[in-house]
Structure 1
Amino acid sequence: MYSKHFGLREAPFGITPDTSYFFTSPHSQEALNTLLVAAKSGEGFIKITGEVGTGKTLLCRKFIATIGPDFVTAYIPNPYLEPRTLMLALADELELPLEKDVDQHQLLKSITHRLMDLAREGKQVLLLLDEAQAIPVESLEALRLLTNLETEKRKLLQIVLFGQPELNQHLQANSIRQLAQRITFHYHLGPLSRDDIEYYIAHRLRVAGYTGGRLFSRAAISRLYKASGGIPRLVNIMANKALMLCFGEGKQQVSGRHVRLAARDTVAAGRKARWPWLAAGVSLLIAAGGLTWALTK
């Protein structure tokens, strides 16, 4: 919608995880380094936690893209599965041909043989579970039993859990205390600082093809920080709306006012009963401003 106006190849603030936009803030780089070191150690479980919107899924995808050819990765984005279904999902990720009505014994035997074959080929297998706070306790216990599989030198399977802070509470259950003891590496993804957001905005604009001067004013950056609390997903949502408002007015720089309106609209989207008129108001402002600007060109 506004890409041509600002000299962009594409919209820079989408919320779909795209590794080309991965931003190496202190938090995200430390988290990625933790994952890489932990994976190469070949030991136990790895846990990454963070609030909603802090970039866990993007980090997971960046990790998969970075880890290298000595690793085989199995990625399960929605692990809210009972133990057998979770094992079937793992088998599918490992490209195991299975009989339609395979029993539990044969299923585990096939997974074990596949893991051993990969180990003989010099491959380490990583099972990455996104939204791990949703995994049923009995499924977590099944995963722990899988990590008992090992050669004389290392585990046949490493498991990486990506989840919201509720995952920590989940792991305090007495029934899975053995799993909690096996978490050898852990990192918590925190929010971006005000300075991080300055660089984050510039980074995403640059990746999207922007080559001009300052597009977001300092006041706009400050308001983005205050309104988002440093949560990257909220920064993206509000920055995108602010750009639409700026485009609608035919201007070339996003101001603090644009971000303020975008923030109000974003809050309204989550609290419809409080400001039922605001989302429509911002849309009308964009449309009216765009029409006025077009008529003056």
Structure 2
Amino acid sequence: MSRANDRDIVKFQYNSDKNLYARQALHRGFSTNKYGWENWVFDQYMFKPNDKVIEFGCGNGSTWANNSNKIPKDIKVTLTDISEGMLSTAESNLLEIEQIIKYCNMDIQNIKYTNSYFDCAIANHMLYHVQNRDLAISEIARILKEDGTFYVTTNSIYNMKGLKNLVMDFDSRLDYSSFSVASEFGLENGAEQLSKHFESVEKLVYEDSLHITEPKPLVDYVLSLEGHVNIQEIMTESRTKEFYQYLKDIILKDGSIDIPKASGMFIAKKPKKLTE
């Protein structure tokens, strides 16, 4: 088990959308690809009339909220998350979207639906937090119809390259270097994991980077990693102010902090069905 999928850390990290929102804010404010990650992700969804759709780890529901005008009128969407706080936030954010018919507190490793029930399943940036991914992916294959599709987003091991060094150059006590979600399930190793339970796996990459011209959103991003990184032990109020000044000085000197991004999506089809 790593800190990426330690159940207690994950529950602490996502008991509300505070940390997730801080990370989303940095990407929304300073991404160089102005089309937008959530727009691109939604564009990949090929929903058919009357599809039953389920999302695991729905978070604050931002992908649906930002694409509400694109959601087909006749699909039925179930949103799930292991965090009651996240589900509550998602429901508050998505009250006007009639296609979302149910919110469920559910673990992807133990899905409470019958075989071949859904047409589409979605898991955005969450499989790397699952302890038993093989079980989770087999559960997805089980609940999908034979022509069903599983949409999965994640990062590359090269995503945000340079940020760890930036943080550790400020304070080497921060154990950021050992934290990697992509080593669990990323663009480099996700297809192999999915292929055990799906006949077809396609990988799509979203081209983007960060051009950061203000220190505070990056400070908030780093602080949002509490639990995954030993933030609480090191980043006292005074140390956080010093970190802000450290980033401000870099931006004043160089004009910006530029960080490459590497994220994408797997589209898995033809689920392998277990024989009795």
In the superposition, the TM-score normalised over structure 2's length comes to 0.38
Between Structure 1 and Structure 2, the one with more strand by share is 2
Work out which of the two has the higher radius of gyration on C-alpha atoms and give 1 or 2.
1
In the superposition, the TM-score normalised over structure 1's length comes to 0.36
